[in-house]
Amino acid sequence: MENKKYVYLFSEGNAKMRNLLGGKGANLAEMTRLGIPVPQGFTVSTDACLKYYKNGEKISEDIIEQINNSIEDLEKITGKHFGISDNPLLLSVRSGARVSMPGMMDTILNLGLNDVTVEKIAALTKNPRFAYDSYRRFIQMFSDVVMGIEKRKFEDLIDKAKGEKEVKYDIELDENDLKKLALGFKKLYEREIGKPFPDNPKEQLIESITAVFRSWNNPRAIVYRRLNDIPGEWGTAVNVQAMVFGNMGSNSGTGVAFTRNPATGENKIFGEYLINAQGEDVVAGIRTPEPIAKLKEDLPECYEEFINTAHRLENHYRDMQDMEFTIEQGKLYFLQTRNGKRTAQSALKIAVDMVNERAITKEQAILKVEPRQLETLLHPAFDAEDIKKAKVIAKGLPASPGAACGKVYFTAEEAKKHHEKGEKVILVRLETSPEDIEGMVAAEGILTIRGGMTSHAAVVARGMGTCCVAGCGSISIDEEKKVFKVQGKEYIEGDYISLDGSTGNVYGGAVKTTLPAVSGNFEIFMKWADGIKKLQVRTNADTPKDAKEAIKFGAKGIGLCRTEHMFFEVDRIPAVREMIVASTVEQRKRALDKLLPMQREDFIGIYEAMEGNPVTVRFLDPPLHEFLPSEEMDIENLSKEMNIDLQDLKATITSLHEFNPMMGHRGCRLSVSYPEIAEMQTRAVIEAALYVNKTKKLNIIPEIMIPLVGEIKELKFVKDIVVKTAEEIINKSGEELKYQVGTMIEIPRAALTADEIAKEAEFFSFGTNDLTQMTFGFSRDDAGKFLSYYYDNKIYEFDPFEKLDQIGVGKLIKMAVELGKKTRPDIHLGICGEHGGDPSSVEFCHNVGLDYVSCSPFRVPLARLAAAQAQVKNPR
Amino acid sequence: MENKKYVYLFSEGNAKMRNLLGGKGANLAEMTRLGIPVPQGFTVSTDACLKYYKNGEKISEDIIEQINNSIEDLEKITGKHFGISDNPLLLSVRSGARVSMPGMMDTILNLGLNDVTVEKIAALTKNPRFAYDSYRRFIQMFSDVVMGIEKRKFEDLIDKAKGEKEVKYDIELDENDLKKLALGFKKLYEREIGKPFPDNPKEQLIESITAVFRSWNNPRAIVYRRLNDIPGEWGTAVNVQAMVFGNMGSNSGTGVAFTRNPATGENKIFGEYLINAQGEDVVAGIRTPEPIAKLKEDLPECYEEFINTAHRLENHYRDMQDMEFTIEQGKLYFLQTRNGKRTAQSALKIAVDMVNERAITKEQAILKVEPRQLETLLHPAFDAEDIKKAKVIAKGLPASPGAACGKVYFTAEEAKKHHEKGEKVILVRLETSPEDIEGMVAAEGILTIRGGMTSHAAVVARGMGTCCVAGCGSISIDEEKKVFKVQGKEYIEGDYISLDGSTGNVYGGAVKTTLPAVSGNFEIFMKWADGIKKLQVRTNADTPKDAKEAIKFGAKGIGLCRTEHMFFEVDRIPAVREMIVASTVEQRKRALDKLLPMQREDFIGIYEAMEGNPVTVRFLDPPLHEFLPSEEMDIENLSKEMNIDLQDLKATITSLHEFNPMMGHRGCRLSVSYPEIAEMQTRAVIEAALYVNKTKKLNIIPEIMIPLVGEIKELKFVKDIVVKTAEEIINKSGEELKYQVGTMIEIPRAALTADEIAKEAEFFSFGTNDLTQMTFGFSRDDAGKFLSYYYDNKIYEFDPFEKLDQIGVGKLIKMAVELGKKTRPDIHLGICGEHGGDPSSVEFCHNVGLDYVSCSPFRVPLARLAAAQAQVKNPR
């Protein structure tokens, strides 16, 4: 038998023991320590939960013994007895993980009741109806939570009782009805389980604690954890607490309150309460709660104590508190306090106010706002009134947040045309492809029938910050006839619909949208963040429009400008295709000569938009077949357009087919086979920089980034082409121009040989999308098919494409950073995968010593804040 | 100016300076040191070559100065003068890399001749015809090798001269004709180059040395290096040597000889010579050389000196020597000695003989046979006489070595049927697919029209040791009509053809094949190897037949038994497909129940064949869509066969489609989604072992290998299923059975987290095929499209799928070995990728401390030898 302590009385803990006692338990202990009135109890630790799982989902004997000892202590503290007695101790059993997971796990109240104790409670409280109502609620909760008997079966018995009595509300059932109901519930239990309902309070307790441990791994908890980056190995603690009752007369009551307004941040206690009620009654919504201020009239002493304690708690925790309280016959108890959840606007205001009040430092303020929350401030939202009247006609995947309203168009061309006329448009497609880019740019929102969270539409929309609902399968579409149908109704070109990219809802008709007013607090707060952070934040932007947007959001340069996105544009795709089908170097060069002036114009626009901030241009990356059509009809059209033989064109397309295009002929491999592509791109980059530096008096230092490098000689080969071309142009121009050549680290071999690679690379940019694919050996496009099984079985708890895998991929990154710096101590290091916009990944980048992260424009503020938080947590 | 020495007189070097002086240079120095008569000279080092490339393909001034100084030294040694003089020094310039690359680089003879010196030589030798013939040869060689003027243009002038004189042979041209010709050559040179032919011997020399350096990177040298694993960074040395002439009368001559017979190994000097001749004359084939023994009659003193020196050289180098010599007016010179190339049979005999002669130790003997050579001993070859009469009708890729002859059949069924009737068959297919397996097993040889060295046919054939010619595009085939056509002739079912899998030749008609008699030396030699090596050698085998073959070749167990190959067999593919299209767990289990007895039988057969040696069974690995047809017609047939709706079947096939199947739903990901597959396979493995141990009194300890693991929890999930299933069966049987569960390390993340993985894995087997793909980020199936550009540009110098990339992939392997041992010091470590059969990769495995390599049966002897060599080179 080991001697480890698994059970802690509230009086034995404190707020710092959150990991062991869970958030709720640690705060109950802290309040106890502060002398704040708390119904006493104890916490079964998270370690006990882990042991429970290790032990084959069974609570071990030593822990049961510690629980029983704590019950004895609690009996002494409360003067009550857990079991048959004139003053029976009733308990609540609640989960409490390290971070709050509201509603995800189970709770059992009124534990300790049985046919005998219920009578004692009835006598003690002189309220038999209350006693029997509590009893039947307990049986019902226990049966549901602990034994998994369907709730509905109990509800049926209640309905039957009400039917027999011909009444409508539960409240109309009297003590006898409830007594009969409790009896009926017990019978139902015995029928379902094959054993009588447990009368022994200790048995009830152990079963309930077991049920809470078990609920840590119920499916909704697992999903919640995945969505909120909570590791499964944390486990939950269980809080066992003496019951207090707010429904023992007019000098009793219950309520919830915040020390500041969670919606606006206003510095004024905000909350509501009900006299003579239990928490459940608030939820049931039969009675309307009163604002907290009214308590001053009802129970002035309690009010004063509450207000004083609330202020004390806020001062103590130095954060806005969310509190639950109960008044039992004139005595105030705090059941819980925690840092309150709040809207983004509120979070900013509270953080700024508390600094101004000198309650916290700027560094502390920085930690009080969730980086992800900032996103909601940057996207349009529906008008709060208007949305209430709107009708949901379908629901898809919430692929890119925000709200959008506009007229339906079915092709990129139409969307673009009508956008140019000043209409607001929604692009509706079966699925989008790179050819739709211009229509997507023009649209307020994008709706696709097929495709998931990582489909083309979803990825591109998130990058642009455009609202998108994807994979809306309940809609049937006829793209040729330009009509879609849902719920029996047809929608044609020009009809209004509205999309909510944060929920996936599609509304029939127009719903007004508003851009949330970003208050001055946002700017003040972000300035603080910028002052603190060491990590620079750049953006991934491929067009002058994106670049400008990103500057507005505080980006200090472009970390990734993907040149292929330019290649897909309508005016250049013919030349791109001409290049691809070229059968000689000369033909290819002719096609590239057509692309050169367009590409140069792109870079001029981007440099100008970036106003002298650095711009990293990545050379052509995707396999060439992505630029050619795959449908028979499109191929035929193309062969006519290009005036080349259909069979020849088909043969070219066939020869470009790849079994695993992700690992195929792409990235710098294209420049190795067709050096003239790298030549043309270098020319465009350098000529544009010379032009802009001269005409705008800027000092652009272009950074040329070679993708998909796995071997130093490969990088050197392409770099030699770049340098030769660049030097020629610069020498001829007679101007001065600095430029850098670097590489993406996105192939494991590049990370493993980064000391070699750094001999040629002046900078590294970690391409964590590909690096994740290669390191895990799974394709992002295909992983959807099996990852759900991995989540269900808790093998992976988060999507490694959203949150960087710090163990495996992170190890490669750390290795590459160390090896790279060994060769070239001043090597410039960044990240340009989508992880650059994920807070925990940004923190990792800070910790391993990168110089910058690059993310999509709308994620820039988030990344700035995450970078500042990382510096506060781990100064460098 | 640096002071580094780049040029060495022969008298300054020795045999150990091979890396610096090249093989030829080091041996010329060594012979000089030993006092053996060598025409004196000097060697320009390999470092000079590297400097030449670093210096932009230009020989730097300091090296030119050293060369000039060495010329002065040489003038002193020879008493001749390099330039205008009565006794002019003529030189040869020859390449000489660290290892011999015969014919790959350039040679220039008779350097130093010009219009003046040619006359001096004519006078000195009293042989003007000889002088002018040498002169015109020099001009021709210099023009071709140094300046790149086409040889043909010179040949045309010679033809013209013979035409004018109405003679047939060069020898019929007299001194005047040759003088005129030399003049014509010089004019031709001037016309082509725009400058006169260089008269200055020093200019001739520097240009020639430059040409030799340049020839290090000519295309044929690059290809040769890739085929022979010679790194480009070695560079070549250049040997500059005084000319001696074997064509100065009847007391002169030239020849080549070996100290033992290079074909048979017989311990007797073997060689031939010509009196009054130069090396070229032997090649020209106008005169027939005499056997070396005849020299005893012609020039007895020279003969005696030659024989004595030859023996001395063999004793000195302790290896069979390949020597070139020239006799100039009664004086014997050795122009070269080197370890002679030899056939596999000869190599074995020489190694065994020399140990018996106590000339070398067994360890030294082990190093004298190239592991790759052993392969030729194990495959059938064509009858030497018969093949001379055969007609090549087409040439494909030499996909799997050996010779085969048989009747043509166009389907696997027909091939199998006729094989069972006792016919020898050749399977001819457009390309093969897994369904063809049984036909491939039945065939003597396989011929495909499409597909490369890594196509299905090629990979499977190599695995089975069956001869295969792949990608024979000049043949047109009609599989339905069962006919193929080539060179205007049609071949139908039952026609004989013959294949040479080592050259890619296809012969029309039957050619007799013979299995080379493996002499007793093979067994003696391999026993020595086994006694020395520390690394065990296992085999990759999926059938009892393969397993038996491998045992014969000395395998000590199976390192990789791929269960999916069993799934493809005709009698089980219906059940496999039933499993795949199952829409419920029950349906899937029903299908798996049908597979269980078959799979169990497979394992019983394999265990019995392995006679108690360990067997590692890998669980199902490929994506499920590989088991379903892709052609419209096959799908229709299948829907009828299985009696399921065509649309449903198509929907299943569509839903299984993957963008990057290599990184898709495969490996242990299948067991995570469908645990019942792992259950069935465990059952088959364990039940078979129990049965065999009981009935055959063996002690099989099955090793279950979980593929494609990237995360410890994933392995644990599958392992838990395996252990639970296995324990149930073992407990029920009442028998004892040990088994192991381990994993493949083939995903970079597994290597990076091997310390974690080792907590669950009892063994690691490195799956270097996939590990190479993921680490390089390229797909083996697609890399062919761009790797040729990489070879051309010397970015990669070998195929990382054939020879392990020790820098990148190797780093991951080393890391995984260290991490794995840290967690589990006795972890068992092996490799089962195709690299297990590559000598340099085997050496790497020895050096990093693996316990075994596993390779295809026919490669087992090779791996055993490579393992022994590794131990000799780096004892552990």
Strand pairing partners for A764?
A: A743, A829
Interface residue A662 vs chain B (CB under 8 A):
yes
A838 labelled ligand-binding: no
Comparing A571 with A162, the larger pLDDT belongs to A162
Interface residue A483 vs chain B (CB under 8 A):
no
Measured distance CA(B374)–CA(B346) in Å, rounded:
11
Q: What is the largest CA-CA distance in chain B?
A: 102
Q: What is the DSSP string of A168-221?
A: SSGGG--HHHHHHHHHHHHHHHHHHHSSPPP--HHHHHHHHHHHHHHHTTSHHH
Nearest CA in chain B to A747: B777
Give A662's contacts in chain B (Cβ within 8 Å): 659-660, 663, 779
Pairing of strands B615-618, B558-562: parallel
Strand pairing partners for B499?
A: B404, B506
Give A811's contacts in chain B (Cβ within 8 Å): 752-753
| ipTM score assigned to the predicted complex | 0.83
Section B380-399 average pLDDT: 88
Interface residue B440 vs chain A (CB under 8 A):
no
Contact in structure between A751 and A809 (CB atoms under 8 Å): no
Q: Cα distance from A659 to chain B (closest Cα, Å)?
A: 7
Interface residue A724 vs chain B (CB under 8 A):
no
Letter for the amino acid at A229? D
| Residue A280 pLDDT greater than 70, yes or no | no
Contact A770 B777 (CB under 8 A): yes
Contact A811 B717 (CB under 8 A): no
Interface residue A641 vs chain B (CB under 8 A):
no
Section B800-814 average pLDDT: 95
Section B372-401 average pLDDT: 87
Contact A777 B748 (CB under 8 A): yes
Q: How high is the pLDDT of residue A565?
A: 78
Contact B662 A663 (CB under 8 A): yes
Q: Show the tokens assigned to B355.
A: 């140990």
A465 labelled ligand-binding: no
Catalytic residue among A418, A456, A828, A846: A456
Alpha-carbon distances of A88 from A9, A66, A139, A857, rounded to whole Å: 19, 21, 17, 61
Contact B747 A776 (CB under 8 A): yes
Which pLDDT band, with edges at 50, 70 and 90, does B566 fall under? Answer: confident
Measured distance CA(A457)–CA(A431) in Å, rounded:
7
Residue in A807, A687, A729, A820 with CA at minimum distance from that of residue A766: A820
Nearest CA in chain A to B674: A789
Contact A793 B660 (CB under 8 A): no
Q: CA angle A128-A131-A134, nearest 5°?
A: 150
A746 labelled ligand-binding: yes
Contact A808 B753 (CB under 8 A): yes
Residue in B734, B731, B729 with CA at minimum distance from that of residue B686: B729
Measured distance CA(A855)–CA(A876) in Å, rounded:
22
Interface residue B710 vs chain A (CB under 8 A):
yes
Measured distance CA(A555)–CA(A861) in Å, rounded:
8
Q: What is the set of domains in chain B, with CATH numbers?
A: 7-246 (3.30.1490.20), 247-342 (3.30.470.20), 379-514 (3.50.30.10), 533-623+658-873 (3.20.20.60)
Burial A545-577 (b: 16+ CB within 10 A, else e): ebbbbbbebbbbbbbbbbbbbbbbbeebbebbb
Sorted by sequence, the CB contacts under 8 Å of residue B727 that are 6+ apart come out as: none
Q: How high is the pLDDT of residue A471?
A: 84
In chain A, DSSP finds a helix count (H) and a strand count (E) of: 36, 31
Comparing B182 with A262, the larger pLDDT belongs to B182
Residue in A743, A732, A730, A724 with CA at minimum distance from that of residue A693: A730
Contact in structure between A486 and A475 (CB atoms under 8 Å): yes
Give B778's contacts in chain A (Cβ within 8 Å): 663-664, 669, 710
Q: How high is the pLDDT of residue B512?
A: 92
Section A337-355 average pLDDT: 92
Contact A808 B717 (CB under 8 A): no
pLDDT tens for B752-792 read 999 999 999 999 999 999 999 999 999 888 887 788 889 88
Which pLDDT band, with edges at 50, 70 and 90, does A459 fall under? Answer: confident
Measured distance CA(B631)–CA(A822) in Å, rounded:
54
Q: In whole numbers, what is the pLDDT of chain B averaged over residues?
A: 92
Q: How high is the pLDDT of residue B875?
A: 96
Section B105-126 average pLDDT: 91
Nearest CB among B669, B774, B785 relative to A786 is that of B669
A501 labelled ligand-binding: no
Q: Cα distance from A518 to chain B (closest Cα, Å)?
A: 42
Q: CB neighbours (10 Å) of residue B69?
A: 13
Burial A19-35 (b: 16+ CB within 10 A, else e): ebbbbbbbbbbbbbeee
* Neighbour-count burial of B233, counting CB atoms closer than 10 A to its CB (0-12 exposed, 13-18 middle, 19+ buried): exposed
Interface residue B563 vs chain A (CB under 8 A):
no
Q: How high is the pLDDT of residue A454?
A: 61
Give A785's contacts in chain B (Cβ within 8 Å): 658, 664-665
Section B102-110 average pLDDT: 81
| Residue A227 pLDDT greater than 80, yes or no | no
Section A254-279 average pLDDT: 89
Q: How high is the pLDDT of residue A783?
A: 86
| Residue A733 pLDDT greater than 70, yes or no | yes
pLDDT tens for A403-415 read 999 999 999 999 9
A456 as an active site residue: the answer is yes
Contact in structure between A99 and A146 (CB atoms under 8 Å): no
Size of interface A-B (CB pairs under 8 A): 169
pLDDT tens for B771-781 read 999 999 998 88
Which pLDDT band, with edges at 50, 70 and 90, does A68 fall under? Answer: very high
Among residues of chain A, what percentage have pLDDT more than 70? 98
Which of A724-728, A737-741, B163-167, B519-523 comes out lowest in average pLDDT? Answer: B519-523
Residue B736, Ramachandran bin (φ over 0: left; ψ between -120 and 50: alpha; else beta): beta
Q: Cα distance from A745 to chain B (closest Cα, Å)?
A: 11
Q: How high is the pLDDT of residue A518?
A: 64
Q: How high is the pLDDT of residue B286?
A: 60
Within 802-821 of B, beta carbons closer than 8 Å to A belong to 805, 807-809, 811-812
Report, in this order, helix, strand and coil percent for chain B, each rounded to 5. Answer: 50, 15, 35
Q: Cα distance from B370 to chain A (closest Cα, Å)?
A: 30
Which pLDDT band, with edges at 50, 70 and 90, does A656 fall under? Answer: confident
Pairing of strands B558-562, B397-400: unpaired
Q: Cα distance from B712 to chain A (closest Cα, Å)?
A: 8
Global confidence as pTM:
0.83
| Residue A500 pLDDT greater than 60, yes or no | yes
Q: How high is the pLDDT of residue B446?
A: 96
Contact B774 A774 (CB under 8 A): yes
Measured distance CA(A222)–CA(A236) in Å, rounded:
12
Q: CA angle A754-A755-A759, nearest 5°?
A: 105
Which pLDDT band, with edges at 50, 70 and 90, does B260 fall under? Answer: very high
Interface residue A711 vs chain B (CB under 8 A):
yes
Contact B779 A811 (CB under 8 A): no
Comparing A281 with A15, the larger pLDDT belongs to A15
Among residues of chain A, what percentage have pLDDT more than 90? 70
Interface residue B596 vs chain A (CB under 8 A):
no
Q: Cα distance from A574 to chain B (closest Cα, Å)?
A: 24
Contact B711 A796 (CB under 8 A): yes
Contact in structure between B833 and B769 (CB atoms under 8 Å): yes
Alpha-carbon distances of A834 from A399, A783, B257, rounded to whole Å: 15, 17, 68
Nearest CB among A673, A756, A779 relative to B664 is that of A779
Contact in structure between B445 and B467 (CB atoms under 8 Å): yes
Measured distance CA(A625)–CA(A623) in Å, rounded:
6
Which of A610-619, B48-57, B244-253 comes out lowest in average pLDDT? Answer: B244-253
Interface residue A785 vs chain B (CB under 8 A):
yes
Contact B770 A747 (CB under 8 A): no
Letter for the amino acid at A141? M
Contact A778 B717 (CB under 8 A): no
A849 labelled ligand-binding: no
Which of A188-202, A218-232, A856-870, B7-21 comes out lowest in average pLDDT? Answer: A218-232
Contact B808 A710 (CB under 8 A): yes
Give A665's contacts in chain B (Cβ within 8 Å): 782, 785-786
Sorted by sequence, the CB contacts under 8 Å of residue B417 that are 6+ apart come out as: none
Interface residue B782 vs chain A (CB under 8 A):
yes
Letter for the amino acid at A483? V
Say how many CA atoms lie within 13 Å of B86 toward its Cβ: 0
Q: CB neighbours (10 Å) of residue B217?
A: 17
Interface residue A708 vs chain B (CB under 8 A):
yes
Q: Show the tokens assigned to A129.
A: 């109806």
Comparing B281 with A581, the larger pLDDT belongs to A581
| Residue A78 pLDDT greater than 90, yes or no | yes
Measured distance CA(B777)–CA(A773) in Å, rounded:
9
Q: Show the tokens assigned to A218.
A: 């119920």
Cα end-to-end distance, chain A, whole Å: 45
Residues of B with a catalytic annotation lie at: 456, 832
| Residue B556 pLDDT greater than 70, yes or no | yes
Nearest CA in chain A to B781: A659
pLDDT tens for B286-295 read 677 889 999 9
Contact B790 A714 (CB under 8 A): yes
Contact in structure between B421 and B442 (CB atoms under 8 Å): no
Nearest CB among A664, A775, A790 relative to B782 is that of A664
Within 734-773 of A, beta carbons closer than 8 Å to B belong to 746-749, 752-753, 756, 770, 773
Q: How high is the pLDDT of residue B669?
A: 96
pLDDT tens for A371-383 read 988 887 888 889 8
Contact in structure between B522 and B540 (CB atoms under 8 Å): no
Q: Show the tokens assigned to B440.
A: 């491939």
Q: Which residue has the tokens 């129990």?
A: B690
